[in-house]
Chain A
Amino acid sequence: NAGVTQTPKFQVLKTGQSMTLQCAQDMNHNSMYWYRQDPGMGLRLIYYSASEGTTDKGEVPNGYNVSRLNKREFSLRLESAAPSQTSVYFCASSEEGNPGETQYFGPGTRLLVL
């Protein structure tokens, strides 16, 4: 039982390049989330998926797209990377989206855009 896994762990991109961050969970959770964490700050929600087949924007969605491939997998795509997207990206999941449910986080992907 691996929980939430993310690939890659580290990535360096040049401005304008594209990449996809992968996330998978094995807890049979319905809801999945993508957050970014900038230095010295808390996490901010980029996109979320309340259930398979649905996605919705969070607080900072510009420059990103997501795909809920199936119940387990939720990917985040940067179509044309910008230096402002240098951050640590966390994927998380929870059973549903109710207030009392814990979100479990992956280990994070450190992205540097030059």
Chain B
Amino acid sequence: AQKITQTQPGMFVQEKEAVTLDCTYDTSDPSYGLFWYKQPSSGEMIFLIYQGSYDQQNATEGRYSLNFQKARKSANLVISASQLGDSAMYFCAMREGFHAGGTSYGKLTFGQGTILTVHP
């Protein structure tokens, strides 16, 4: 089963509007972290925002916020007031804790990404 699912291959948004990028995850570990990364056309991976499984409040970082719904296992990224420079690929990723089993301690598991295009 996919651990991270991003169901939107591509999204379009008008400049200055808000957009939500979907992410659902699957884990039986009580301790995990959820991350969003941005990958512009230049290729680098830029960390945007983090949400811990025990965090009571949704994470926010400037124009980025994470809509964390633990019971539904979703961690959607909300970008407010979109800018042309927000056009990029966006990846949701999860990091499980010690109790996840397996040998890939601390690894990030990535979704397939969503390409966001911001129109002027």
**Partner-B contacts on A (CB < 8 A):** 31, 33, 35, 40-45, 48, 50, 56-59, 88, 90, 92, 94, 96-105, 107-108, 110
Contact = CB atoms under 8 A, between A and B. Distances in A.
B25 interface: no
B33 A105 contact: no
A101 B33 CA distance: 8
Contacts of B31: 99
Nearest to A42: B110
B53 A48 contact: no
A88 B44 CA distance: 10
Contacts of B33: 99-101
Given A99-B31, A99-B53, A58 B43 contact: no
Interface stretch (B12-20, B69-77, B79-87, B98-106): B98-106
Contact of B113 (A42, A59, A97): A42
Q: Which of A43, A97, A99, A104 is packed against the most chain B CB atoms within 10 Å? A: A99
